[in-house]
Protein backbone atom coordinates (compact mmCIF):
# COMPACT_ATOMS: atom_id res chain seq x y z
CA UNK A 1 0.00 0.00 0.00
CA UNK A 2 1.26 3.44 -0.90
CA UNK A 3 0.30 7.03 -0.09
CA UNK A 4 -0.99 8.73 -3.24
CA UNK A 5 -2.06 12.21 -2.04
CA UNK A 6 -1.70 14.54 0.96
CA UNK A 7 -4.07 17.50 1.21
CA UNK A 8 -4.26 20.27 3.79
CA UNK A 9 -7.67 21.88 4.26
CA UNK A 10 -7.75 25.35 5.83
CA UNK A 11 -11.09 25.96 7.56
CA UNK A 12 -12.44 29.23 8.90
CA UNK A 13 -15.80 30.34 10.25
CA UNK A 14 -16.98 33.55 11.92
CA UNK A 15 -18.84 33.28 15.23
CA UNK A 16 -21.73 35.46 16.31
CA UNK A 17 -20.77 35.84 19.97
CA UNK A 18 -17.13 36.75 20.43
CA UNK A 19 -15.23 35.91 23.60
CA UNK A 20 -11.87 36.86 25.12
CA UNK A 21 -8.95 35.26 26.91
CA UNK A 22 -6.01 37.14 28.41
CA UNK A 23 -4.43 38.02 25.04
CA UNK A 24 -7.26 38.84 22.64
CA UNK A 25 -10.90 38.62 21.58
CA UNK A 26 -11.88 35.62 19.43
CA UNK A 27 -14.40 36.32 16.64
CA UNK A 28 -13.72 33.36 14.31
CA UNK A 29 -12.72 29.73 14.55
CA UNK A 30 -10.08 28.24 12.32
CA UNK A 31 -8.87 24.73 11.72
CA UNK A 32 -6.37 22.70 9.76
CA UNK A 33 -7.49 19.28 8.58
CA UNK A 34 -5.13 16.97 6.70
CA UNK A 35 -6.30 14.18 4.43
CA UNK A 36 -3.99 11.36 3.33
CA UNK A 37 -5.12 9.10 0.48
CA UNK A 38 -3.76 5.68 -0.45
CA UNK A 39 -3.90 3.42 -3.49
CA UNK A 40 -6.01 1.03 -1.39
CA UNK A 41 -8.85 3.54 -1.39
CA UNK A 42 -8.47 4.16 2.37
CA UNK A 43 -8.18 7.74 3.64
CA UNK A 44 -6.72 8.98 6.93
CA UNK A 45 -7.63 12.26 8.62
CA UNK A 46 -5.60 14.46 10.94
CA UNK A 47 -5.94 17.76 12.79
CA UNK A 48 -3.22 20.35 13.35
CA UNK A 49 -3.38 22.97 16.14
CA UNK A 50 -1.62 26.11 14.94
CA UNK A 51 -1.85 28.88 12.33
CA UNK A 52 -3.63 26.95 9.56
CA UNK A 53 -2.16 28.66 6.49
CA UNK A 54 1.37 28.15 7.78
CA UNK A 55 0.64 24.51 8.62
CA UNK A 56 -0.85 23.95 5.16
CA UNK A 57 2.30 25.32 3.50
CA UNK A 58 4.60 23.07 5.51
CA UNK A 59 2.40 20.04 4.87
CA UNK A 60 1.99 20.56 1.14
CA UNK A 61 5.46 21.92 0.27
CA UNK A 62 7.70 19.96 2.65
CA UNK A 63 5.98 16.86 4.03
CA UNK A 64 3.73 15.73 1.16
CA UNK A 65 6.60 15.14 -1.34
CA UNK A 66 8.33 12.91 1.25
CA UNK A 67 5.15 10.92 1.88
CA UNK A 68 3.91 10.24 -1.66
CA UNK A 69 4.71 6.66 -2.67
CA UNK A 70 5.55 5.58 0.89
CA UNK A 71 3.82 2.97 3.03
CA UNK A 72 1.57 4.57 5.68
CA UNK A 73 2.24 1.61 7.98
CA UNK A 74 5.77 2.75 8.94
CA UNK A 75 4.63 5.35 11.49
CA UNK A 76 7.77 5.83 13.60
CA UNK A 77 10.03 5.75 10.55
CA UNK A 78 8.00 8.44 8.78
CA UNK A 79 7.84 10.54 11.96
CA UNK A 80 11.64 10.51 12.32
CA UNK A 81 12.17 11.28 8.66
CA UNK A 82 9.77 14.24 8.59
CA UNK A 83 11.07 15.62 11.89
CA UNK A 84 14.69 15.31 10.78
CA UNK A 85 13.81 16.89 7.44
CA UNK A 86 13.03 20.24 9.10
CA UNK A 87 14.88 19.70 12.38
CA UNK A 88 17.55 22.34 11.82
CA UNK A 89 14.86 24.97 11.31
CA UNK A 90 11.84 23.73 13.23
CA UNK A 91 12.19 21.84 16.51
CA UNK A 92 9.07 23.60 17.80
CA UNK A 93 6.00 25.45 16.57
CA UNK A 94 4.61 25.23 13.05
CA UNK A 95 6.76 22.37 11.65
CA UNK A 96 5.94 20.16 14.65
CA UNK A 97 2.25 21.16 14.56
CA UNK A 98 2.13 20.23 10.87
CA UNK A 99 3.88 16.93 11.66
CA UNK A 100 1.26 16.33 14.37
CA UNK A 101 -1.56 16.56 11.81
CA UNK A 102 0.25 14.13 9.50
CA UNK A 103 0.98 11.72 12.35
CA UNK A 104 -2.67 11.66 13.49
CA UNK A 105 -3.80 10.97 9.90
CA UNK A 106 -1.28 8.12 9.59
CA UNK A 107 -2.58 6.55 12.83
CA UNK A 108 -6.14 6.89 11.48
CA UNK A 109 -5.04 5.18 8.26
CA UNK A 110 -3.28 2.33 10.05
CA UNK A 111 -6.30 1.68 12.24
CA UNK A 112 -8.59 1.62 9.22
CA UNK A 113 -6.24 -0.68 7.29
CA UNK A 114 -6.10 -3.14 10.19
CA UNK A 115 -9.77 -2.67 11.16
CA UNK A 116 -9.13 -1.64 14.77
CA UNK A 117 -9.29 1.62 16.76
CA UNK A 118 -6.05 3.54 17.32
CA UNK A 119 -6.23 2.83 21.05
CA UNK A 120 -6.03 -0.91 20.30
CA UNK A 121 -2.92 -0.33 18.16
CA UNK A 122 -1.48 1.58 21.13
CA UNK A 123 -2.08 -1.33 23.49
CA UNK A 124 -5.37 -0.29 25.07
CA UNK A 125 -7.91 0.46 26.05
CA UNK A 126 -7.14 1.15 29.68
CA UNK A 127 -10.50 2.98 29.85
CA UNK A 128 -13.42 3.50 27.49
CA UNK A 129 -14.94 6.55 29.17
CA UNK A 130 -13.30 9.73 30.41
CA UNK A 131 -14.65 12.43 32.70
CA UNK A 132 -14.80 15.69 30.79
CA UNK A 133 -14.35 19.21 32.05
CA UNK A 134 -16.00 22.10 30.24
CA UNK A 135 -13.58 24.65 28.82
CA UNK A 136 -15.51 27.90 28.60
CA UNK A 137 -16.27 30.80 30.93
CA UNK A 138 -14.23 33.16 28.75
CA UNK A 139 -14.80 36.89 29.11
CA UNK A 140 -17.94 37.83 27.18
CA UNK A 141 -18.38 41.48 28.19
CA UNK A 142 -16.06 44.24 29.39
CA UNK A 143 -18.78 45.30 31.82
CA UNK A 144 -18.01 43.34 34.98
CA UNK A 145 -21.58 42.96 36.24
CA UNK A 146 -22.82 41.90 32.82
CA UNK A 147 -19.89 39.51 32.39
CA UNK A 148 -20.52 37.91 35.79
CA UNK A 149 -24.21 37.46 35.02
CA UNK A 150 -23.39 35.77 31.68
CA UNK A 151 -20.71 33.52 33.14
CA UNK A 152 -22.78 32.51 36.17
CA UNK A 153 -25.50 31.41 33.73
CA UNK A 154 -22.96 29.60 31.59
CA UNK A 155 -21.53 27.77 34.62
CA UNK A 156 -25.00 26.69 35.73
CA UNK A 157 -25.57 25.40 32.18
CA UNK A 158 -22.50 23.15 32.47
CA UNK A 159 -23.73 21.77 35.80
CA UNK A 160 -27.19 21.16 34.31
CA UNK A 161 -25.50 19.29 31.43
CA UNK A 162 -23.81 17.00 33.96
CA UNK A 163 -20.28 18.43 34.07
CA UNK A 164 -18.50 18.10 37.42
CA UNK A 165 -15.52 20.28 36.44
CA UNK A 166 -14.97 23.45 34.42
CA UNK A 167 -12.33 25.99 33.52
CA UNK A 168 -12.35 29.77 33.34
CA UNK A 169 -9.92 32.42 32.13
CA UNK A 170 -7.81 34.82 34.19
CA UNK A 171 -5.05 37.26 33.24
CA UNK A 172 -7.25 40.37 32.99
CA UNK A 173 -5.71 42.06 36.01
CA UNK A 174 -5.69 41.11 39.69
CA UNK A 175 -8.97 42.73 40.75
CA UNK A 176 -10.93 41.36 37.79
CA UNK A 177 -9.46 37.89 38.21
CA UNK A 178 -10.17 37.58 41.94
CA UNK A 179 -13.70 38.98 41.57
CA UNK A 180 -14.42 36.43 38.82
CA UNK A 181 -13.03 33.42 40.68
CA UNK A 182 -14.88 34.39 43.86
CA UNK A 183 -18.14 34.84 41.92
CA UNK A 184 -17.78 31.51 40.11
CA UNK A 185 -16.95 29.52 43.24
CA UNK A 186 -19.97 31.05 44.96
CA UNK A 187 -22.18 30.27 41.92
CA UNK A 188 -21.17 26.63 41.40
CA UNK A 189 -20.81 25.63 45.06
CA UNK A 190 -18.20 23.40 46.64
CA UNK A 191 -18.76 20.11 44.83
CA UNK A 192 -17.59 21.21 41.37
CA UNK A 193 -13.94 21.36 40.32
CA UNK A 194 -12.81 24.76 39.05
CA UNK A 195 -9.63 25.33 37.04
CA UNK A 196 -8.20 28.69 35.94
CA UNK A 197 -6.09 29.47 32.87
CA UNK A 198 -4.06 32.66 32.31
CA UNK A 199 -2.82 31.71 28.82
CA UNK A 200 0.61 32.91 30.03
CA UNK A 201 -0.83 36.36 30.67
CA UNK A 202 1.03 37.02 33.96
CA UNK A 203 4.63 37.67 34.87
CA UNK A 204 6.10 35.86 37.88
CA UNK A 205 5.14 38.58 40.38
CA UNK A 206 1.55 38.79 39.11
CA UNK A 207 1.21 35.01 38.96
CA UNK A 208 2.45 34.55 42.54
CA UNK A 209 0.12 37.23 43.94
CA UNK A 210 -2.86 35.85 42.02
CA UNK A 211 -2.15 32.23 42.94
CA UNK A 212 -1.95 33.02 46.67
CA UNK A 213 -5.13 35.09 46.57
CA UNK A 214 -7.01 32.28 44.76
CA UNK A 215 -6.06 29.63 47.32
CA UNK A 216 -9.27 30.01 49.43
CA UNK A 217 -11.40 29.19 46.36
CA UNK A 218 -10.28 25.56 45.95
CA UNK A 219 -8.73 25.88 42.49
CA UNK A 220 -7.93 22.53 40.85
CA UNK A 221 -5.01 23.93 38.85
CA UNK A 222 -3.56 27.23 37.67
CA UNK A 223 -2.85 26.77 33.95
CA UNK A 224 -0.17 28.63 31.99
CA UNK A 225 0.44 31.29 34.66
CA UNK A 226 3.63 32.54 32.94
CA UNK A 227 5.12 32.31 29.45
CA UNK A 228 6.02 28.86 28.14
CA UNK A 229 9.71 29.73 27.70
CA UNK A 230 10.03 30.47 31.44
CA UNK A 231 10.20 26.88 32.71
CA UNK A 232 12.12 28.13 35.75
CA UNK A 233 9.17 30.44 36.49
CA UNK A 234 6.80 27.47 36.59
CA UNK A 235 9.13 25.58 38.92
CA UNK A 236 9.44 28.62 41.19
CA UNK A 237 5.69 29.23 41.31
CA UNK A 238 5.09 25.62 42.35
CA UNK A 239 7.02 26.32 45.55
CA UNK A 240 5.06 29.51 46.30
CA UNK A 241 1.44 28.32 46.18
CA UNK A 242 -0.63 25.33 47.22
CA UNK A 243 -2.53 25.42 43.89
CA UNK A 244 -1.24 22.78 41.42
CA UNK A 245 0.51 24.34 38.41
CA UNK A 246 -0.37 23.20 34.87
CA UNK A 247 0.91 23.99 31.39
CA UNK A 248 2.45 22.65 28.22
CA UNK A 249 0.02 23.44 25.40
CA UNK A 250 2.74 25.66 23.86
CA UNK A 251 5.55 23.11 24.33
CA UNK A 252 6.68 20.56 21.79
CA UNK A 253 8.04 17.02 21.53
CA UNK A 254 9.74 14.90 24.14
CA UNK A 255 12.59 17.40 24.25
CA UNK A 256 10.57 20.31 25.74
CA UNK A 257 8.75 17.96 28.09
CA UNK A 258 11.95 16.25 29.24
CA UNK A 259 13.12 19.63 30.55
CA UNK A 260 9.73 20.44 32.13
CA UNK A 261 9.58 17.03 33.83
CA UNK A 262 13.19 16.96 34.99
CA UNK A 263 12.85 20.45 36.48
CA UNK A 264 9.60 19.41 38.21
CA UNK A 265 8.15 22.60 36.76
CA UNK A 266 4.50 21.48 36.55
CA UNK A 267 2.07 19.32 38.51
CA UNK A 268 0.01 18.65 35.38
CA UNK A 269 1.38 18.65 31.83
CA UNK A 270 -1.01 19.40 28.97
CA UNK A 271 0.56 18.55 25.61
CA UNK A 272 -1.83 19.10 22.69
CA UNK A 273 -1.93 15.92 20.59
CA UNK A 274 -2.46 18.01 17.44
CA UNK A 275 0.56 20.20 18.24
CA UNK A 276 3.18 18.40 20.38
CA UNK A 277 4.13 15.89 17.65
CA UNK A 278 0.95 13.84 17.17
CA UNK A 279 -0.20 10.65 18.85
CA UNK A 280 3.24 9.07 18.39
CA UNK A 281 4.99 11.78 20.37
CA UNK A 282 2.14 12.27 22.86
CA UNK A 283 2.45 8.61 23.92
CA UNK A 284 6.21 9.00 24.38
CA UNK A 285 5.64 12.12 26.51
CA UNK A 286 2.96 10.28 28.53
CA UNK A 287 5.40 7.48 29.32
CA UNK A 288 7.99 10.04 30.44
CA UNK A 289 5.38 11.80 32.60
CA UNK A 290 4.51 8.51 34.28
CA UNK A 291 8.16 7.90 35.11
CA UNK A 292 8.32 11.38 36.66
CA UNK A 293 5.09 11.01 38.65
CA UNK A 294 3.49 13.93 36.81
CA UNK A 295 -0.15 14.11 35.74
CA UNK A 296 -1.01 14.31 32.04
CA UNK A 297 -4.25 15.92 30.83
CA UNK A 298 -4.12 16.66 27.10
CA UNK A 299 -4.95 20.15 25.84
CA UNK A 300 -7.75 19.98 23.25
CA UNK A 301 -8.70 22.90 21.03
CA UNK A 302 -9.44 21.81 17.50
CA UNK A 303 -11.94 20.14 15.22
CA UNK A 304 -13.73 16.91 16.09
CA UNK A 305 -10.80 15.08 14.49
CA UNK A 306 -8.43 16.49 17.12
CA UNK A 307 -11.01 15.65 19.78
CA UNK A 308 -11.20 12.05 18.52
CA UNK A 309 -7.39 11.83 18.52
CA UNK A 310 -7.31 13.10 22.11
CA UNK A 311 -9.89 10.45 23.06
CA UNK A 312 -7.73 7.70 21.52
CA UNK A 313 -4.80 8.92 23.63
CA UNK A 314 -6.91 9.27 26.78
CA UNK A 315 -7.94 5.62 26.33
CA UNK A 316 -4.31 4.57 26.83
CA UNK A 317 -2.92 7.14 29.28
CA UNK A 318 -1.66 5.12 32.24
CA UNK A 319 -3.35 5.21 35.63
CA UNK A 320 -0.29 6.27 37.53
CA UNK A 321 -0.97 4.59 40.88
CA UNK A 322 -2.76 1.30 41.63
CA UNK A 323 -5.49 2.46 44.01
CA UNK A 324 -9.27 2.73 44.19
CA UNK A 325 -8.87 6.48 44.50
CA UNK A 326 -6.31 6.82 41.73
CA UNK A 327 -6.49 10.03 39.73
CA UNK A 328 -7.77 9.50 36.20
CA UNK A 329 -7.02 11.82 33.29
CA UNK A 330 -9.67 14.31 32.20
CA UNK A 331 -10.87 15.34 28.76
CA UNK A 332 -10.70 19.04 28.02
CA UNK A 333 -14.05 19.58 26.29
CA UNK A 334 -14.10 22.87 24.42
CA UNK A 335 -17.58 24.24 25.00
CA UNK A 336 -17.13 27.64 23.31
CA UNK A 337 -18.93 28.62 20.10
CA UNK A 338 -17.58 26.67 17.11
CA UNK A 339 -19.54 26.23 13.85
CA UNK A 340 -17.81 23.06 12.67
CA UNK A 341 -16.10 21.37 15.65
CA UNK A 342 -18.37 18.34 15.95
CA UNK A 343 -20.46 19.10 12.83
CA UNK A 344 -17.49 17.93 10.80
CA UNK A 345 -18.14 14.39 12.05
CA UNK A 346 -20.85 12.03 10.79
CA UNK A 347 -21.22 10.77 14.39
CA UNK A 348 -20.02 13.30 16.98
CA UNK A 349 -17.74 12.18 19.81
CA UNK A 350 -20.31 11.40 22.50
CA UNK A 351 -20.14 13.52 25.65
CA UNK A 352 -23.10 12.85 27.92
CA UNK A 353 -23.64 13.82 31.55
CA UNK A 354 -20.07 15.10 31.67
CA UNK A 355 -18.64 11.76 30.51
CA UNK A 356 -16.92 11.33 27.13
CA UNK A 357 -16.97 7.99 25.32
CA UNK A 358 -13.90 6.78 23.45
CA UNK A 359 -14.84 6.20 19.76
CA UNK A 360 -14.37 2.48 19.06
CA UNK A 361 -14.59 2.33 15.27
CA UNK A 362 -11.49 1.71 13.11
CA UNK A 363 -8.75 4.37 13.24
CA UNK A 364 -9.82 7.49 15.10
CA UNK A 365 -13.33 6.07 15.08
CA UNK A 366 -14.89 9.03 13.28
CA UNK A 367 -15.98 9.74 9.72
CA UNK A 368 -15.83 13.12 8.03
CA UNK A 369 -18.71 15.04 6.48
CA UNK A 370 -17.35 16.37 3.19
CA UNK A 371 -20.21 18.83 2.82
CA UNK A 372 -19.24 20.50 6.11
CA UNK A 373 -15.54 20.43 5.17
CA UNK A 374 -16.30 22.08 1.82
CA UNK A 375 -18.60 24.65 3.42
CA UNK A 376 -15.90 26.11 5.70
CA UNK A 377 -12.86 25.46 3.54
CA UNK A 378 -11.05 28.65 2.45
CA UNK A 379 -8.08 27.28 0.46
MG1 LIG B 1 -4.97 26.70 28.16
Three-state DSSP state, 54 = helix
- Would residue 377 count as lying in a domain? no
233 and 360 part of one domain: yes
155 and 259 part of one domain: yes
Q: Which residues pair with 6 in a beta bridge?
A: 36
191 and 331 part of one domain: yes
Distance from residue 172's CA to the centre of ligand 1 (Å): 15
Distance from residue 74's CA to the centre of ligand 1 (Å): 33
Distance from residue 249's CA to the centre of ligand 1 (Å): 7
- Would residue 94 count as lying in a domain? yes
Instruction: Provide the residue count of the chain.
Output: 379
Q: How crowded is residue 146: how many other Cβ atoms within 10 Å of its Cβ? A: 11
Does pLDDT of 319 surpass 90? no
Per-residue pLDDT tens over the stretch 231-281: 999 999 999 999 999 999 999 999 999 999 999 999 999 999 999 999 999
**Residue 276 near residue 6 (C-beta atoms within 8 A):** no
Mean pLDDT of the chain: 97
Give the pLDDT confidence score for residue 321 in this predicted structure.
86
**Residue 277 near residue 288 (C-beta atoms within 8 A):** no
187 and 230 part of one domain: yes
d(CA 145, CA 141): 9
Distance from residue 68's CA to the centre of ligand 1 (Å): 35
- For this structure, is 357 an active site residue? no
Q: Annotate 156-217 with DSSP letters as a single string.
A: HHHHHTT-SEEEEE--S-HHHHHHHHHHHHHHH-SSSEEEEE-TT---HHHHHHHHHHHGGG
| pTM of this prediction exceeds 0.75 | yes
Per-residue pLDDT tens over the stretch 190-235: 999 999 999 999 999 999 999 999 999 999 999 999 999 999 999 9
152 and 98 part of one domain: no
103 and 191 part of one domain: no
Distance from residue 254's CA to the centre of ligand 1 (Å): 19
- Would residue 97 count as lying in a domain? yes
- Domain final residue pick, 49, 82, 115: 115
Does pLDDT of 84 surpass 90? yes
d(CA 55, CA 277): 13
Please give the tally of structural domains in the chain: 2
166: CATH: 3.20.20.120
The maximal CA–CA distance of the chain, rounded, in angstroms, is 60
60: CATH: 3.30.390.10
pLDDT band of residue 366 (cuts 50, 70, 90) is very high
Catalytic residue among 299, 327, 338, 357: 299
**DSSP structural state of residue 333:** E
Rounded to an integer, the average pLDDT of 371-379 is 97
What percent helix, strand, coil does the chain show, rounded to 5?
Answer: 40, 20, 40
65 and 170 part of one domain: no
Q: Annotate 353-373 with DSSP letters as a single string.
A: TTEEE---SSBTS--B-HHHH
109 and 183 part of one domain: no
- Would residue 376 count as lying in a domain? no
Three-state DSSP state, 224 = coil
Does pLDDT of 320 surpass 90? no
Compute the chain's Rg from CA coordinates.
Answer: 20
136 and 229 part of one domain: yes
Distance from residue 50's CA to the centre of ligand 1 (Å): 14
Residue 209 domain boundaries: 120-370
d(CA 358, CA 127): 8
- Domain final residue pick, 115, 146, 165: 115
108 and 179 part of one domain: no
- Would residue 87 count as lying in a domain? yes
- Domain final residue pick, 72, 91, 115: 115
133 and 105 part of one domain: no
Distance from residue 310's CA to the centre of ligand 1 (Å): 15
Give the pLDDT confidence score for residue 291 in this predicted structure.
96
Per-residue pLDDT tens over the stretch 97-152: 999 999 999 999 999 999 999 999 999 999 999 999 999 999 999 999 999 999 99
158 and 278 part of one domain: yes
Amino acid sequence: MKITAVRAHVLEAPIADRFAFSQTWVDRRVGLVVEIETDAGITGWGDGYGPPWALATVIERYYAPRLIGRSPLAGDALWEELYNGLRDHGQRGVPVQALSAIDIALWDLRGKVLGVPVHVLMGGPIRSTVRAYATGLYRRSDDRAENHRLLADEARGYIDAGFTAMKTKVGFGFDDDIALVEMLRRSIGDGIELFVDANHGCDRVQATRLARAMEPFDIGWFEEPVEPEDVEGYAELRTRTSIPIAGGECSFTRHDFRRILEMRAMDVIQPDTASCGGLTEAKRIADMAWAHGTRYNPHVWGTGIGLAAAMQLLAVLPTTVPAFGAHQPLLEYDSTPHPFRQDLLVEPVLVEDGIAHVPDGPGLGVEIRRDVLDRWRVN
